[in-house]
Amino acid sequence: MKSLRNIWIIGLLLISASLYAQGQPKLEIEIQDRKVNMTAEETSGADVVYAPSDTIEYVILAKNTGDGVMTDPEIVDPIPQGVQYIAESAAGENCRILFSVNQGIRYSEWPVRLPASGDQNARDTRPGEITHIKWMIRESIPADSQKTLSFKVVVE
């Protein structure tokens, strides 16, 4: 009976060790912005100046810097003040992309309907009304890997 108990304890230790060996994911976000319509001077090293009607592309790198697999991550990014979202510019491979017009309280697929579907006065949202974008990533992100997401805006 003593040897059976020892085998059971060793089994529990092996199960515990395998659970801890799976590691923990750790999400780090890096956001890069790039003016799409740079002037010749700006492309040759001059300071980049933003003016109304300029287009900016935001690239979001969702990095798993942990040592475990990240499953079903969701990334939310607010639209910065002073710019408007460009319709259908949000991208991310193998992602469901949702949009909010109320500071991230509720999300819908594009086109977002206001006030709600089924209402006689409902209308499609204008791109400038978008306040947040959410990417629901439909795949796991392994350790030391990243997912690239993006969207474009125009300066007001």
Instruction: Record the tokens describing residue 8, joined without a space.
Output: 């059971």
Which residues does residue 66 pair with via DSSP β-bridges, in sequence order?
Answer: none
Residue 88 has pLDDT above 60, yes or no: yes
Residue 23 has pLDDT above 90, yes or no: no
Quick: pLDDT tens for 39-64: 999 989 889 999 999 999 999 999 99
The pLDDT assigned to 113 comes to 82
Give how many domains the chain has, as a whole number.
1
Residue 18 has pLDDT above 60, yes or no: no
In a domain, 3, yes or no: no
Backbone angles phi, psi at 104, to 5 degrees: 85, 10
What mean pLDDT is reported for the chain? 86
In a domain, 8, yes or no: no
Least trusted range by pLDDT, from 4-13, 18-27, 104-113: 4-13
Task: Indicate the pLDDT class of residue 118, thresholds 50, 70 and 90.
Answer: low
Contact yes or no for 99/132 (Cβ under 8 A): yes
Q: Residue 89 and residue 152: Cα distance in Å, rounded?
A: 6
- Residue 102 C-alpha from the chain's centroid: 18
Instruction: Record the tokens describing residue 69, joined without a space.
Output: 């697999």
The three-state DSSP-derived secondary structure of 52-79 is CCCEEEEEEEEEECCCCCECCCEEEEEC
Contact yes or no for 150/92 (Cβ under 8 A): yes
Instruction: Record the tokens describing residue 135, joined without a space.
Output: 């990417």
Question: What domain range is 138 assigned to?
Answer: 23-155
In a domain, 5, yes or no: no
In a domain, 2, yes or no: no
CATH code of the domain containing 113: 2.60.40.1170
Section 105-114 average pLDDT: 90
Quick: pLDDT tens for 146-156: 999 999 999 99
In a domain, 126, yes or no: yes
